[in-house]
Amino acid sequence: MPRIAVYPGSFDPITNGHLDIVRRARRLFDRVILTVAANSSKSSTFSVAERVRLAKACVAGLGGVEVDTFDGLLVDYLRRKGSRVIIRGVRAVSDMEYEFQMASMNRAIYPEVESVFLMPDERYTYLSSSIIKEVARMGAHVEDYLPVPVLAAVKRRFARRKRK
């Protein structure tokens, strides 16, 4: 039976840090599903369709990785996909309190689920989509932190906002 892991997130936008976690997870699992949350409580810069398209472009060369979207409870999505593993990237100790709460709630709802926490490469420990968007909005250099398809989309999005 294949070991399937689900890596959920808003991915608004997907960064090199996210891709680093995908690659690390892929070494541990037969299949990794990067799934874009459609019901994120965060206000999004990119639509769900745009985030899915960008994520697909970024993982196109990675075997055993697919991109999907979900709405509703993550554990319901895991059951539908035949997975019992949630991948989460943890950058710093400060991430752990929230992640621990989420892992505990997911396990309460779906006792068979395991949350696997992966640390990104040190180059990405301070990186988040929110920081990238803020820096890009101000016109600063973000080339080292975004995959090429995402970089182009971010530049287009914030160039439009500057013209308004």
User: Where exactly are the structural domains of the chain?
Assistant: 4-125
Token reading at 110? 């779906």
Lowest mean pLDDT among 79-83, 143-147, 158-162: 158-162
Query: Cα separation of 64 and 59, whole Å?
Result: 10
User: With bands split at pLDDT 50, 70 and 90, how would you rate the model's confidence at 139?
Assistant: confident
Please check the confidence at residue 42 and state whether its pLDDT lies above 70: no
Quick one: average pLDDT of 113-131?
91
Question: Which CATH number applies to 4-125: 3.40.50.620, 3.40.50.10420, 3.20.20.300, 2.60.120.560?
Answer: 3.40.50.620
| pLDDT value of position 146 | 94
Q: Indicate the pTM of the whole model.
A: 0.92
**DSSP 8-state code for residue 13:** T
User: With bands split at pLDDT 50, 70 and 90, how would you rate the model's confidence at 101?
Assistant: very high
Residues in contact with 67: Cβ distance below 8 Å, sequence separation at least 6, in sequence order: 33, 34, 35, 36, 52, 55, 56, 59
Residues known to be catalytic: 18, 42, 91, 129
Please check the confidence at residue 164 and state whether its pLDDT lies above 60: no
Please check the confidence at residue 163 and state whether its pLDDT lies above 70: no
